[in-house]
Amino acid sequence: MASDIGPRLVDLLPRLRRFAIALCRSRETADDLVQDACARALAAEEPMTADMNVEAWMFRILRNLWYDRLRRSKVRGEEIEIGDRDDLPGLAAEPEAERRLVLQRVALAIDALPDEQREIVLLVCVEETSYRDAAEVLGLPLGTVMSRLARARRKLAEATGLDPADL
């Protein structure tokens, strides 16, 4: 059954990479983290079971690898301002320019959240992980995930001037 993990990992790669980029704010570091997480999953000694939540397991491995890396390095990686990104949609039309400014405000507000709230926002709102799976990934009770997400949404709404229902 261990051979079944390969195709499941391939399906998860885009989501794992997005989560890794959001955690470390560097595409190169994110790619390394995803590769390390996949290698760790493929080398796992415990056999995979049919009822195993591979998604939550992989997000947890990725998150733990990131925190291990932070603890080892104690030096924060390079941060890139969203306005400096050339690969985002251009400013050709006025509505597009406004969306880009809103995206920049939201990204900065997410970046300013405490780590425990930022992780939950990324998992639930960006990766569309269920509350239950997010709780499993983070090793938290479901109620804690829900309350941290509510506080994070309030902070984001205050920081961006957006309606909390839109976040």
CATH value at residue 103: 1.10.10.10
- Please check the confidence at residue 59 and state whether its pLDDT lies above 60: yes
* Residue 85 falls inside a structural domain: no
* Residue 21 falls inside a structural domain: yes
**Segment 15-40 mean pLDDT:** 91
- Please check the confidence at residue 61 and state whether its pLDDT lies above 70: yes
User: In terms of domains, do 18 and 51 share one?
Assistant: yes
CA–CA separation, 67 vs 56, rounded Å? 16
Give the model's pLDDT for residue 2. 46
- Please check the confidence at residue 78 and state whether its pLDDT lies above 70: no
User: In terms of domains, do 8 and 65 share one?
Assistant: yes
- Please check the confidence at residue 98 and state whether its pLDDT lies above 60: yes
* Residue 167 falls inside a structural domain: no
- Tell me which residue range forms the domain holding 7: 2-73
Tell me, letter by letter, the H, E, C secondary structure of 57-89.
HHHHHHHHHHHHHHHHHCCCCCCCCHHHCCCCC
**How many separate domains does the chain show?**
2
**End of a domain among 47, 73, 99?**
73
> Is residue 50 helix, strand or coil?
coil
User: In terms of domains, do 117 and 65 share one?
Assistant: no
